[in-house]
A and B are shown apart, each in its own frame.
Chain A
Amino acid sequence: MAQQVVMPKQGNSVESCIIVEWKVKLGDKVAVGDVLCSAETDKSTIDVESTAEGVVLARLFEEGADVPVMVPIAVIGEAGEKVETVAAEEPKQQEAKASEVSASVVEQAPVVAASQAIGASPRARQLSASLGIPLSAVQPTGPKGRIIERDVLSAKGQPLSPVARKQALEQGIEAPASGSGIGGRVLASDLATKPVEPAVTAPVSEEVTEIAVKGVRKVTARRMMESMHSTCQLSLHAFADARALKRLRAGFKASKPELGLQGITINDLVLFAVSRTLVQFPAFNAHFLGDKILRFAHVHLGVATDTAKGLLVPVLRNSELLSLKQLSEGTKALIGKCKAGTAQPDELTGSTFTVSNVGSFGIEAFTPVLNVPEVAILGVGTIVLKPIEDEDGDVAFVEHIGLSLTMDHQAVDGADAARFLKALMDNIASIDLLLAL
């Protein structure tokens, strides 16, 4: 009996995964636990393992497809078994399974939803979900009766003239959201014509590489826009005396290897200061949810991390309880996983405050974008020399580290933010004392 393997659930926040690469071909023999494909979640790459034993009868999505979790991606059965048979027997299976008390997660996969999902492209499904248009109400015009994005758009009311619709379909041109006809109706002339093959004598054309916005880039794009749209962001810039930081860092570096302190960085020290300062300012260790503000007892620090795939924010839980050494090691481990693409979804969610450090690039100050629904984010800049006048009126050049605090003015006020930033500056300036507490 053929069985379907579904896209597994990845934590609570992951709604869909992109199939990056199929590891099996049709006809391959697989055992339970064999990797069928690698898939990209919002923030990391996972291996999807087979939950059935047999021969791969069907791969239901192409590489690059964005598949909602719990939707079947492959059919495993006996060699020669027809996939259509599987579909025909689905209702029966469902009935049989309904009577089983100990149904596993995989077996609970909604079979009806699955068959619908196959009839629509991922983009169409996403759009229909975001617009609230049921796929059953959409007239498919895609190949083999598949629902594609423009079908959902036209169900939404985007008026395509009959000529434009036919032309878009035949030439595979994506129709714009609105055109030059009556009431924004899209006419054939509004469709971008397919690029003509350049003639041999054509002048050198500008080279443009098209990159699909998906995976981490897509999530980042959405989250950043969400942040800018839903919050009232205000940034404060300051410089904290960095002499203590530098002194400590030099000390750790020169310490005995067996102490395991050599790897503690300036950033670790700043994170440490942030975790301790936030305890004093619970208003900044919070989420703003519109009608309510959640303040957290523990500081779950998000650490903005630059990876080959883009920006990831692993979360260092209960950071205010960690020693500097624990904090440093924990951060390193998380960053390592992010760079390797093996961070688990739950390690990438749930932060209460985020720190983003671009000091290594020589940036002095910037305006970090809030990691919503967090109330604030700290940007850490490079260390620069600032002229400081001492009590005797002498001017000395003192090392200072740039701090940029962006806060959501919906949740806190400018003076609150100034007080928090001042306290953080003081804590950083006397980080050695803070460590003793």
Chain B
Amino acid sequence: MDSFDLIVVGSGPGGYVAAERAGALEKKVLLIEKEHLGGVCTNRGCIPTKSLLNSAKLYSHAQDGKQFGVQAQEVSFSLLDAMAWKEETIKTLRGGIEFLMKSNKVQTVFGEAQFLDAHHVQVGDTVYEGSYLIIATGSSPFVPPIPGSTLGHVLTSDGILEIKEIPSSLVVIGGGVIGIEFASFFSMIGTKVTVIEMMSEILPMMDGEFAKLMRRELKEVDFHLGCKVEEITPDSVLYTDAKGEKKSIAASMVLMSVGRKPNIQGLEKLGLDIGRQGVVVNDRMQTNLATVYAIGDVNGRSLLAHSASRMAEVAVSNIFGSKTMRMRYQAIPWAVYGNPESAGCGITEAEAAKLGIPVRSRTVQMRANGRFLAEHGKKGAGLVKVICHAQTGAIVGVHLLGPYSSEMIWGASALIEAELRVQDVKEIVFPHPSVSELIKDACFQLDHTL
């Protein structure tokens, strides 16, 4: 029987990073993947959606170029070409991960993993033995049992990435990150998009003021908030609105994006402690079995690719490394890559109120910024909000809506991780002209003293 220091099941941004890091520490590592290296992120999530959104944004900018002195004629969008570019990107990235595994001497096996016990995993007819096991099996789209949800035109984020034709109308059920990104994409390429959200606002992690602006900026998208979908028929979606009235919208395609569920099937034999969110782990990513760790979506703690990667590092550190690393959740940034982009890190004012943390905040308009003005004009919409602790001045939240948000937000993570205060951020030099300067501007609005 082949025996390993570490067996990793699942090769998404949690699993492959765990394998890579352990391999770099010269451990004998086996990585088991049932489909493609890279998991949902590379193949059916982060990357393909960014590829498609970029195509749609180019299309959109080409149509809007006149005011900037660019006139394009007969601009059209080819879904097939956009899909081909997306596929090319995915293949290149998969190749990159394959190279990473080879260069770190990680053995890769393709097939469905069967968990025999905490130290044995079977793939096909072969049983592998591992001193440690990292479960990184991820999550799958959750499809609620609504009548009609199994109809052919009802797709999840998996299926909608494979479509061949642009739908004339799309109803997106669920206004979370996935729903809003697809809503933005399809509205840019000419589909009539409606978002039905059960809560009173889209994007629950977003500051309320920002979510409202986001809805306004997604000009071509209709939003129905506080609504409950009752049934899906072959050509429409029936729902009850906030007032309790029954309504229906025509839909040639329906995207079901109400959430994701952890992939815990097959773990039964291990005797793991599994909660409602997923496999229960401590802050070292260790399960109730000392040698079994669970990282990424399967533990349900933070359903983000970069959280999974960080969890991978924390797990490997606690297995083979310094053993001092603990997972911290207070400064994990998120981003929504629609048009406009948005990103955030830390808490919102609403969360602060719930937690009883006294805070102060300032919001600045992006149009006050030189670079933003040059590229988007006086009517461009964008916001930057900085939230600090009312007493200590420590930055506890940064929220961005507008171009480059996803590329700027790591800075906010650094500020929050380092527990820097408004007065400290004021001493940092930001590049000019850049949209990021607005973070400093907001800090000076919070505290103008020198």
Which B-chain residue is minimally distant from A167 (CB atoms)?
Answer: B392
Of the listed stretches B79-87, B377-385, B419-427, chain A binds: B419-427
- Whether B421 lies near A184 (C-beta < 8 A) is no
- Whether B420 lies near A181 (C-beta < 8 A) is no
List A contacts of B440 (CB < 8 A): none
Asked if B350 CB lies within 8 Å of chain A CBs, one says no
List A contacts of B353 (CB < 8 A): none
Among A166, A167, A182, which residue has its beta carbon within 8 angstroms of that of B418? A182
List B contacts of A185 (CB < 8 A): 417-419
- Whether B328 lies near A162 (C-beta < 8 A) is no
List B contacts of A184 (CB < 8 A): 324
* Interface SS, B side: loop
- Whether B394 lies near A182 (C-beta < 8 A) is no
Asked if B326 CB lies within 8 Å of chain A CBs, one says yes
Which A-chain residue is minimally distant from B394 (CB atoms)?
Answer: A163
> Once bound together, how far apart are the Cα atoms of A193 and B394, in whole Å?
18
> Once bound together, how far apart are the Cα atoms of A180 and B326, in whole Å?
8
Among A163, A180, A181, A182, which residue has its beta carbon within 8 angstroms of that of B392? A163
List A contacts of B394 (CB < 8 A): 161-163, 188
List A contacts of B417 (CB < 8 A): 181-182, 185
Asked if A187 CB lies within 8 Å of chain B CBs, one says yes
> Once bound together, how far apart are the Cα atoms of A187 and B418, in whole Å?
8
- Whether A188 lies near B324 (C-beta < 8 A) is no
Which A-chain residue is minimally distant from B324 (CB atoms)?
Answer: A184
Q: How far apart are B37's CB and chain A's nearest CB, in angstroms? A: 30
Q: How far apart are A196's CB and chain B's nearest CB, in angstroms? A: 16
> Once bound together, how far apart are the Cα atoms of A167 and B389, in whole Å?
13
- Whether B419 lies near A164 (C-beta < 8 A) is yes
Tell whether A166 pairs with B419 under 8 Å between CB atoms, given A180-B326, A180-B328.
Answer: no
**Most chain A beta-carbon neighbours within 10 Å: one of B328, B418, B421:** B418
Interface size grouping (class) on chain B:
10 to 19
Q: How far apart are A17's CB and chain B's nearest CB, in angstroms? A: 39
Tell whether A162 pairs with B420 under 8 Å between CB atoms, given A188-B392, A188-B394.
Answer: yes
- Whether A188 lies near B419 (C-beta < 8 A) is yes
Which B-chain residue is minimally distant from A178 (CB atoms)?
Answer: B324
List A contacts of B424 (CB < 8 A): 162
> Once bound together, how far apart are the Cα atoms of A181 and B394, in whole Å?
14
Bitwise, A280-321 to B at CB < 8 A (1) or not (0) is: 000000000000000000000000000000000000000000
- Whether B421 lies near A162 (C-beta < 8 A) is yes
List B contacts of A163 (CB < 8 A): 389, 392-394, 419, 421
Bitwise, B409-443 to A at CB < 8 A (1) or not (0) is: 00000000111110110000000000000000000
Q: How far apart are B207's CB and chain A's nearest CB, in angstroms? A: 23
Tell whether A161 pairs with B328 under 8 Å between CB atoms, given A166-B392, A167-B392, A188-B394.
Answer: no
> Once bound together, how far apart are the Cα atoms of A161 and B420, in whole Å?
7
List B contacts of A162 (CB < 8 A): 394, 419-421, 423-424
- Whether A181 lies near B418 (C-beta < 8 A) is yes
**Most chain B beta-carbon neighbours within 10 Å: one of A163, A180, A181, A188:** A163
> Once bound together, how far apart are the Cα atoms of A166 and B421, in whole Å?
11
Which A-chain residue is minimally distant from B413 (CB atoms)?
Answer: A182
> Once bound together, how far apart are the Cα atoms of A291 and B417, in whole Å?
48
Bitwise, B161-200 to A at CB < 8 A (1) or not (0) is: 0000000000000000000000000000000000000000
Q: How far apart are A182's CB and chain B's nearest CB, in angstroms? A: 5
- Whether B419 lies near A187 (C-beta < 8 A) is yes
Q: Which residues of B from 86 to 103 have beta carbons under 8 Å from A? A: none
List A contacts of B326 (CB < 8 A): 180
List B contacts of A167 (CB < 8 A): 392
Which A-chain residue is minimally distant from B414 (CB atoms)?
Answer: A182
Q: Which residues of B from 381 to 414 have beta carbons under 8 Å from A? A: 389, 392-394
> Once bound together, how far apart are the Cα atoms of A182 and B418, in whole Å?
7
- Whether B419 lies near A161 (C-beta < 8 A) is yes
List B contacts of A181 (CB < 8 A): 328, 417-419
Q: How far apart are A102's CB and chain B's nearest CB, in angstroms? A: 56
> Once bound together, how far apart are the Cα atoms of A387 and B417, in whole Å?
70
**Most chain A beta-carbon neighbours within 10 Å: one of B394, B420, B423:** B394
Extra inter-chain contacts (10) besides given A163-B394, A182-B417, CB under 8 Å: A161-B419, A161-B420, A162-B419, A162-B421, A164-B419, A180-B326, A181-B419, A185-B417, A188-B392, A188-B419
User: Which B residues are closer than 8 A to A by beta carbons?
Assistant: 324, 326, 328, 389, 392-394, 417-421, 423-424
Closest 7 CB pairs of A and B: A161-B419, A163-B394, A163-B392, A163-B419, A182-B417, A187-B419, A162-B421
